[in-house]
Chains A and B, each alone.
Chain A
Amino acid sequence: MKAYENIVKKYDVWKRALKISWKEYLSEVAKNSLTGEWAKEVAEYLIKK
C-alpha cells in the first residue's frame, strides 16, 4: 500500500523533471537500482496491468 502510494506521489516530481508519461515513469522506476524491492514489484505489476 505504502509502495503504491509512493509511486503515485512521486510521479508528479518525475513528470516535472523529465516530462515523461506514466508508462515511461513506471519502467524507469522498475529498472532503477535505488527503487525499493516492494516499490519495484508494484511498478512491474502496474506495467503488466
Chain B
Amino acid sequence: MVCVNMEKYTFIITEKPDAAQRIASALDVQGKAKKRENNGVPYYVAKRDKEIVVVPALGHLYTVAAERRERNYFPVFNFEWVPRYVAERSAKQTRKWLETISKLAYDAAIFIDACDYDIEGSIIGYCLLKYACSNKERISKRMKYSTLTTEELEKSYDELLPHLDFALIEAGRTRHEIDWLYGINLSRALTIAAKNWSGKYTTLSTGRVQGSTLRFLVVREKAIRCFVPTPYWSIKAEIDIDGLIFEAGYEKKIIETKMEADTVVDDCKGKNGEAEKIDVEKFQQMPPTPFDLGALQSEAYSLYGYTPMRTSNIAQRLYLDALISYPRTSSQKLPPAINYEAILKNLNKVPEYEKLAAELLAKTELKPNEGKKEDPAHPAIYPTGKLPERVLDTSERNIWDLIIRRFMAVFGEPAIRQSIKVCINVNGRRFYLRGRQTLKEGWLRFYEPYIRSEEVLLPKIEAGQTINIKKIILEDKFTKPPPRYNPSSLLKKMEKAEIGTKATRAAILQTIYDRKYARDERMIVTDLGFEVLDVLEKYCPTVVSIKLTKELEEKMNKIQTNTEKRENILLEAVEILKPATDKLKEKERIIGEQLSNAMKTAKIEERTIGVCPICKTGKLMMIYSRRTGKRFVGCTNYFKGLCKASFPLPQKGTVRPLGRSCRGCGWPTVQVRMQGRHPWTLCFNPKCPLKENRRKKIELQNLQ
C-alpha cells in the first residue's frame, strides 16, 4: 500500500536504500523521517518546507537490451532501454521497485534526482525519471553532494541545480550502449561457436574493455613463458665499523662477465679500505596526495591484500554510512569548501587521532598537498569526521583508518630526510656504503603505521678513515622475468592506458577471473584466456586493439563536453563490429573447436592440484565419486593401477588448487573457502611437520 497522505509533495529519487534513508533523515526538520513500505519496497517521508518522499532505486533498474528477445543469434544492432526485469531473469525483484517508484511519482509536484553525481548515478536517475516517472527528466532538479552528512545534504537541497546534467547522461548512455553492442555481439559469437561445436553451454564473454585488458595479461604471460634469464654478478663488501657490520655495494651494480667479477674479488681479497669521500644530502619528502579511488585501491592492496573490487565495496559502505566522501572519484583535490577544520575537530574527538588532529588544528594555515588529477563531480576521498554509528568490521575499520590518516598526512609538513654515501676505496676498487635517516618526521607521523621508509643509520665516518673489510661477497645472479600482474597493478595499467572507467575497472577484472581466463592473485592466464584472445586477435583484431579502445574512450568523453555526438560514435562502433561479427560467423566451426578444447583443458586444469607426492609421476586431482557424490583427491595413476594415493576433502564450501607447495612438507595444497569462515590452506600430508607442531601446541595449551 502506498501511504502518502499529502496533496502535492516533492519526490526525490536516490540510487540506494541507505542513501534514501540518510537523505530523508537529513531533510526532515526533526531528523526523523518516517519509513514506509510498498510491496516490500522501502521509502521515506520527511517533513521540511513541504512533504518530501524519498524513494530509493536498487542501482540500475533499466538496461540496454536487444529489441528481439531471443538469445541465440548475432549480430545484434537494434536495441532499446528496458526495465532490468525484462532483460535479466535474475532481476525479477526489481519489478516491484519500479512499480513503487511509478506510483509515488504520480502525485508529486517537484522532482529531484539525488543519485550519486557521476555517470552511473546520472543514468540511473535519468532512466527512472524518464521511463518510470513518465518523462519527468526535463523538469527534474538535481541534488549534488559528495558526502551523506546532514550539513552537506541540507545545503545540496537548498541549492538545487536547476536541471540534470544532460551532457553527462548522454555520455553515460553512449558508454552503456557501446559496451552493450561490443559485449553482446562478441560474447554471443564466442558462446554460440563453442556451444554449437561441443553441445554444451558455457558463457564466454568479452567486451570492449575486457578484451583489451585480457590482452595486457596475455602479452605479459607470453613474455614470462618465453623468458630466458641472463647471468650477471654483483659484489658486496662486508665491513666492520666499531663492531657494527654493514654491507657496501661495488660501484658497478651489474657485472656482466664472470671473469671481470673474479678479477674484482681477487683485487679486494684480504685488503682494507679507506673512506675516500662522504656525500651527505638532505632532501625533502613531500606529503602524499589525497586518495582518488585508484590510489586507495592500490594502497589497500599493498597494505592488506584487498582486491580493488573489495576496497571499492568497502569504501561504498563507508560512504553510505556518511563516514567518508564519495569514493568513485578520480580527483586528487581537496577544496577548502569541505571545511578541513570542522573535519579535524571531529576527528579530534577520537582518542587515536586526538593528538594528531590537534597538531594540525594548531597550524596557522591548513593547505593540502594536492595532486594534478581533477574530477568535475567530486573532490578526492576524505573522511567526513562523522563517527561510526555501528561497529565496523575489521576491513571497514582498516580502510576508514587509512583514509583518515592519509587525509591528515596531506596537511603535514614535508619530511626532511638525509642520505649519506660513503665511498670506500679498496685497492683501487670503489664500494659505496649508503645510509638513510629521517631528520624531521613532518607528515610521516600522521601516516603511521602505513609508512614504508627504511632507516639505515651509519656511525660517524671521516674521510681518510681506515675501513676494516671482513669479507668480499660475490653473488651469482640472473635477470628476472617481468612480474605477473596482480589485480592492483592491472588496474593501474588500465588507468594508465585510459581504458574503462573508475566505476567499471574493478568489475572487469572480476569478470576475467569469473570466466576463468586468469587465475590466482598473481594473475596467470589460463589456456582458455589464451584461446579467447587468440580468436579475437586472429579474426577481429580491431576489437582488442588498445589504440582503438582508447580512441573510442576519448570520443565518448567528448560527448560530456558537447564536442562529439552520440549517433556518430554508435555508428562508428557498428562499423567496427559488423565486419568482426561477419568474420566470427564465417569461422564459427574452427572457433568452436578451438574454444571447446580450451574449455575442456581449463576444466581439467581447475581440478588439478599438483604432482602426486606418493608416486611422483601422476597428478593429484579433485574427483567426485559417482557412487556417493562426495569429493576427494586421487592420483591419475590410480586408473593405470600404479598409485593408490587418495585423500579426503571437506564436503562443504569451495576447494581451489593453490598452485604452491606446503611450506612444511612440500606437498601440493588447496584453499578451502566456507561461508562465515576465513579461507584456509589445506595440506594433504597426514605427517606434515606443520600439523605435528600445531598438534603439540594444542596439547601444550590444554596441559597449561
Residues in chain A within 8 A of chain B (CB atoms): 2-3, 6-7, 9-10, 13-14, 16-19, 29, 32, 34-39
Contacts and interface: CB of A to CB of B under 8 A. Distances in A.
Given A34-B480, A36-B481, A17 B228 contact: no
A1 B293 CA distance: 41
B257 interface: yes
B225 A39 contact: yes
B478 interface: yes
A38 B228 CA distance: 10
Interface in B459-481: 478-481
Contact of A3 (B225, B480, B481): B225
A29 B259 CA distance: 20
Contacts of A10: 228, 230
Contacts of A2: 222, 226
A9 B227 CA distance: 11
A36 B224 CA distance: 6
B231 A17 contact: yes
Contact of A6 (B228, B257, B258): B228
B353 interface: no
Contacts of B481: 34, 36
Contacts of A32: 229, 478
Interface in B556-592: none
B147 to A, nearest CB: 49
Nearest to A4: B226
A10 B102 CA distance: 69
Nearest 4 pairs of A and B residues by beta carbon? A36-B227, A3-B226, A36-B225, A34-B229
B256 interface: yes
B227 A16 contact: no
Contact of B256 (A6, A7, A16): A16
Nearest to A5: B226
B301 interface: no
A15 to B, nearest CB: 10
Nearest to A38: B225
Contacts of B480: 34
Interface in B389-408: none
Interface residues of B, number: 19
Given A2-B222, A34-B481, A17 B258 contact: yes
Given A2-B222, A16-B256, A16-B257, A39 B227 contact: yes
Interface of B: 222-232, 256-259, 478-481
Contacts of A13: 230, 256
Contacts of B223: 36
A6 B231 CA distance: 14
B253 to A, nearest CB: 16
Name the residue among B223, B230, B481 with the largest chain A CB count within 10 angstroms: B230
Given A38-B225, A39-B227, 8 more contacts: A6-B227, A14-B231, A34-B227, A34-B229, A34-B479, A36-B228, A37-B225, A38-B222
B258 A18 contact: yes
B257 to A, nearest CB: 5
A17 to B, nearest CB: 5
B638 to A, nearest CB: 27
18 contacts: A2-B222, A2-B226, A3-B225, A6-B226, A7-B228, A14-B231, A16-B256, A17-B257, A18-B231, A19-B258, A19-B259, A34-B229, A34-B480, A35-B228, A36-B224, A36-B227, A36-B228, A38-B225
A29 B479 CA distance: 12
B246 to A, nearest CB: 29
Name the residue among A19, A29, A34 with the largest chain B CB count within 10 angstroms: A34
A42 B227 CA distance: 11
A19 B258 CA distance: 9
Given A16-B257, A17-B257, A17-B258, A35 B227 contact: yes
A30 B296 CA distance: 41
Nearest to B256: A17
A14 B222 CA distance: 22
A32 B227 CA distance: 11
